[in-house]
Structures are given as structure tokens and as C-alpha cells.
Chain A
Amino acid sequence: MKIEYYIVLSIALFCIGIVGVLARRNAIIIFMCIELMLNAVNLLLVAFSKMHHAAKGAEVATAGVDGQLFVFFIMVVAAAEVSVGLAIIVMMYRNVHSVDVNFLNRLKH
């Protein structure tokens, strides 16, 4: 498949993520949108990695492997982030009985 398809799909996913983060107030939705952006990047990395390997794989056996590696790292970090983020959201719900991020404006004062 042509690389352009992957790029367009990732941009679309990333923009959806950004708009979601900007527009929504529900913490869980925002959280999901962040994940969406991360995965858009992952998709792009994998796509470029594949493309690179196709071009240089004949001479260098490991060409494009670093892109795949990055994806693994991002997934691991994202998983850790999810656990922390969900814990924060749970605590927030317990305290203010809401998951609306606009309630969290006390640092302003």
C-alpha cells in the first residue's frame, strides 16, 4: 500500500485526538483522545519503518527496526500512563463527584 494512505489516516486520527482534548470536558474522553494521538504516532512510525525496510532491507538487514522499537517504548509508557491517569480520575471522582476537568481550577488561586 502507498505510504500516503498511512499518513492521511494518522493525521486524521491525530486531529480527532486534538479536537477531542480541546473540546471535551469529560476527563475520561480527554484521556481516550490522548491515547488516540499516541496511537496515531505509533501508526506513522510503523508505516515509515516498513517503508524504510522495503527500501534499504536488501543491504542492511536491520533497516527500519528502530521505528518499531520506538513504538514498543511508546506503548509501554502509555500503559504506565493509563494506570496513573485512571487512578487520578478515580480519586477525582471520589472527591468532587464529577469527572469534569473544569472543576479542577483551584491552582489558579
Chain B
Amino acid sequence: MNNIIDLAWLVPLFPLAGFLLNGLFRNSLSRPLTGIIGSGAVLASFVVSVLLFLEVKKGNTGVAHLFNFIEVDKLTIPFAFLVDQLSSLFLLIITGVGFLIHVYSAAYMKEEEPPHFARYFSYLNLFVFSMLLLVMGSNYIVLFIGWEGVGLCSYLLIGYWFKNTEYNNAAKKAFIMNRIGDLGFLIAIFWMIAKLGTVTFSTPDSGGVLDKVGDLTAVDITGITLLLFVGATGKSAQIPLYTWLPDAMAGPTPVSALIHAATMVTAGIYMVARSNILYTSSAITQTVVAGIGLATAILAATIALKQNDIKKVLAYSTVSQLGYMFLGLGVGAYTGAVFHVMTHAFFKALLFLGAGSVIHAMHHEQDIRKMGGLKRYLPITHITFLVGCIAIAGIPPFSGFFSKDEILAAAYLRNPLYYVLGAAGALLTAFYMFRLYATTFLGSFRGTEEQKHHLHESPSLMTIPLIVLAVLSVIGGWVGIPEVLMHGAHSLGDFLAPVFAASAEKMEAHSISHSTEYLLMGVTVIGAAIAIFVATARYRRNPELGEPTGFGKILANKWYVDEFYQWLIVRPVNWLAKVLNSFVEKEFIDWLVNGVGKLVNYSSRQVRLLQSGQVGSYVLLMVLSILVFLVLQFFIKK
């Protein structure tokens, strides 16, 4: 074992220290100092992550064992960090994008009071810490600790402005939705322990969960993978648990960028990619994952078409892109899914931060109907946002094209229908992104005169992260250029190959003919280009200002899914609670509790009469009792 991997615990340590410093001394730290501590902690982690990545690139992977977390009977759960190709890549994404967002936050949140500013940064650091724990854990339990940690931080940050009841409700919604998923995850872990007696991913002597897949029956594998996937639907916002993510936009915009776009929501993807061999072993689960991913991708894309809140559009776009990642996982394109996580982290963080910059300039106005023509006032934001839109729309050579193309090509191999639907979703993506772009940045300004007067480009602390992310959004895809375009240029695939080797072995090697692949690419790119053209042409002159009607109204109301859940789950639960409160509670439990009190009261009132104060009566009682006992003993013995 070499030294750098043994020092892997440094990566999560820095954000933890940042969390403690900012959290404990929030009342005495000034804003610049808080920002420096918060961002510096993540930067330090990033530096260590880069070193780890370089080490892994040389071919050295390993486990940094800290201590044994749980030891019961034959079950030993170590607290250990796994550093391999997959986790080191995620480390780079989390700390790299995380650092940029921390820097951005320092400027974006500068109107907050110093204690709240420090609270914000400590939550962010805690989040980064949990996320690092999640991707570095060498077993499902450590992963689960991080998994819960990010859920908690998400709750804290969505409800950051806790004086607003609506925001608090959004926070609670996110937390509860996540809990539902977590239950599935937890049961899956218990199942593994029951069947295999271990939760470690993989050990050198082949004693880990992923090494012993052969010992499991088909039912076990399907059950475990489906339950794990339930966890993933909660965390990664898939049908049926996706409704929390759009509501989570109540949090500050950089939080949306960091948690609800770039990192936390990809936890489910990471978990499935990590357990890839389990998923490859169960055809049923693969179909379920692909189906749900595809359905989510399209459903969210249709909803995004009619949203008017700049952040809501991006939120649904995130849900939709996560759907693509699950489609990739479901068809066995693990590399493609992880690749899309990476490119998505770049362009979605960019888009959210760009939206934050717009909101900042518009004085917290989020309705795109009141924007328009911002191109002139926010030149840097405009260019970077445009880059993000092109990247997500999948136009080469921007990053989104390569990752989406890889997923869609793999989907075509599995089932051409997947490809058709996926490509249709991609067209919708291009359309709604450019609707958003055209309505916000093109045309003429539709806000108030006062807002117009105050329009300004954001400070450099905010624009520099935007520029860096824009550059990454352009070049980020070049690490995974498909074989057909350039031979041997898929360096990401080669890098990740060891992680997915077992799955690759299991799957039959299909290969797609070059002409088909060109055709598939051509269809999506041309389709996206047309969608972009139509959307831009339509919305630059005539943005949708009125209320939608007909089918558009259904989309604007998100297919009434929230209302459906309200009707299906929330109302019956509320009704049950009311019944329990008014009937069971009052008639039964209260009766029981009050009855016990009354009984004790009454009997003590009677027993009190015995205490007469007459010594003689006490003695008489004593003698009588002794006699009673004597007689009793006499009879019982016989």
C-alpha cells in the first residue's frame, strides 16, 4: 500500500473541520473569513483528490482502513475508505464543482447576516463531507451514513430561510421523500447481511458483496437490487419519488446548483454504478431501472416545457437528465451513466449558477416572463448560460453530446424503442432549454423600470466560477469521444473499465455498426438543432406571457402529480390522523389514562382511613395480618 491512499481520510476531514469551525464560531467570524474557511476546506480536499486521482491513474487502487465500526458475532463492518477509479472520479467532481460553488456562494449570499452566512457555509461543508463519505465508503454502511448525511444537509439547506413556512414545507417534503427511499436501501442492506454476512463491496480475498454474487439466488439479487433502486429513486429524484426535487428550489440558488444538480442527486447513480455487477445479474431490475429512467426523463421534460420559474425549469431538466443516467444504468452503459454524471455536473452547475446570477441581477425575481433582453446587461452570464444550454441540448462538440450519445447508443442496442423515446426526450430538452434561454436573454426587457435601472453584471467572484464551468462544459466531453469518431479516444471508458470489468464480462458484447451509429448521432443532433432553432425563433419575439390553456395547462400544473399524491396519500393519512385523534385518542386512550388516575385517587382515599392515629388499631391490624399469613401458610403448605 502506498502513502497517498492511506491519507485518503484527509479528503473528508477538511470539510468536516470547516463545518465545525464555521458552525461553532458563527457568531464571531466575519463574512470574508467564513468564506475563506468554507471554500478553503473544499479546495484542500480538491488538492488531495487530485493527488489521489493521479495515483489511481497510475493503476494503484486501495482501501484506507481507519477502524472497525461495528463488530457483532461474525459480522465486521470496517470504517474504511475505498479509493478506486469510480470513487476518485466522483471525488474530483464533488470537490471541484463544490469548490467553485463555494466561491460563488461567498458573493451570492453576501447580504445575509454574518451568523447566518456562517451557518450556510457550515451546512455546505457538512454536505460536502457527507457526500465524500458516501462515495469513499468501502461498504454499504459507510455509504449509507453519507447517504443520510446528504439527505439531512439537503433538508437544512432547503429550509435555510426558515422563516418562510412554504420553504420549510419544501424541506420537509424533501426529507420525507428521501426517507421513504432510505427505507428500501436499509432493507436491502439487511438482506445482504442476512444472506452474505457482509456489506463490504469487495475484498482482496473475494469476500465482499460484489464478489459473492454467485452465492445469491435470482430472487435475492432481484430483491436487493430493486430495494437499492427504491433508495436511488428517492435520492436521485425518479418516479415515483421525484416531486421533492422541484420543490427543493426553495433553497438558495448555489445550493440548488451544488446539491440538487451536481452532486447529491447523483448519489443514486453512484450507488447503482458501484453495485453494477448486482444489477447486471438481474434482467428484471435492469428493465425496471431503464423503464423508470426513461419515463422520468420524458415526464420531467414535458413538465419543463411549460414552467415559468427559471429555477423550476432547470429543476425539471435535472430530473430529466437523471432519468437519462438511469436509462444508461438500466441498459448496462455504466460508463455512459457516470460520464453523463460528470458532464451534467459541469453544465447543470453552470446553468444554475447562471440562473443565480440572473436572479441576483433581477433582485430575486425568478419569473422568466418578467425578464427578457438580459443579453445586453449581463454579457458574461449570457455567454456562459448559452454554453450550458448548448451543452445540455447535445450539440457537438460540447460535453453533453458525448455522454448523451453514449447512453442513447447503448439504449439502441438493448431495444430500439428506448432509443426512440430517449431521442424524443432529447429533443424536448433542447426545446425547453432554448425556450428558457430565448425568453430570458433575448427579446426586450419586460420588468419594471426600477429593475431595469438596477440591472448589472455580477461581481467577479460569481463570474469566474461561471467561466470555469463554461470551459469545462465545452471540453468536459472530450475525455469520452466515441470510438467511431476517433479511435482510442475514450479515455474515461478505459479509466473506468476495471470497475465495470465484471459486468462487461457478463454482458454479451454487442457492437453497433458504424453507419448505424452515425445515423443515430445524426438524428439526435439534427433534431436538437431544429428544436433549438424553432424554440429560439418562436420565443425571442413572442414569449408566452399569458396563462397556458388546454394541454399546456396540464403540463404547467406538472401533470397534477402533486395533487394526485395529495389525494392518494396525504389526504387519507390526514383523515386517519383525524380519526385517531378525535375517536381513539379521546374515547379510548384518554379514558384509560384518566381511569388509572381516578382509580389511584379513589383507592388512596379509602386506604387513608386506615391511618387513624390510634396505636391500638395499628397493632390490631398487625396481629390480624400475621394471623392471616399464618393461616394462609398453613393451607398452602398442605
A: which residues have CB within 8 A of B?
Answer: 18, 21-23, 25, 101-102, 104-109
Contact = CB atoms under 8 A, between A and B. Distances in A.
Contacts of B604: none
A25 B614 CA distance: 10
Given A18-B623, A22-B623, A106 B613 contact: yes
Given A18-B623, A22-B623, A102 B616 contact: yes
B611 A22 contact: no
Interface string B596-638: 0000000000000001111110011001000000000000000
Contact of A108 (B613, B616, B619, B620): B613
B616 A105 contact: no
A93 to B, nearest CB: 16
A83 to B, nearest CB: 20
A105 B611 CA distance: 10
Given A22-B623, A102-B616, A105-B613, 13 more contacts: A18-B623, A22-B616, A22-B620, A23-B616, A25-B616, A101-B615, A102-B614, A104-B613, A105-B612, A105-B614, A107-B611, A107-B613, A108-B612
Contacts of A109: 613
Interface of B: 611-616, 619-620, 623
B396 to A, nearest CB: 98
Q: List the 8 shortest-distance A-B pairs measured between CB atoms, nearest first.
A: A105-B613, A108-B613, A101-B615, A21-B619, A22-B620, A22-B619, A108-B611, A18-B623
Nearest to A100: B615
Nearest to B608: A108
Nearest to A109: B613
Contacts of A25: 616
Contacts of B620: 22
A54 to B, nearest CB: 28
Contacts of A21: 619
A109 B608 CA distance: 11
B116 to A, nearest CB: 61
9 contacts: A21-B619, A101-B615, A102-B614, A102-B615, A104-B613, A105-B612, A105-B613, A108-B611, A108-B612
Contacts of B612: 105, 108
B204 to A, nearest CB: 73
Contacts of A101: 615-616
Nearest to A19: B623
Contacts of B616: 22-23, 25, 101-102
Contacts of B611: 107-108
Residue of B614, B615, B619, B620 with highest tally of chain A CB at under 10 A: B615
Contacts of A18: 623
A10 to B, nearest CB: 16
A98 to B, nearest CB: 13
A104 B617 CA distance: 13
A18 B615 CA distance: 13
Nearest to A105: B613
B28 to A, nearest CB: 60
B493 to A, nearest CB: 92
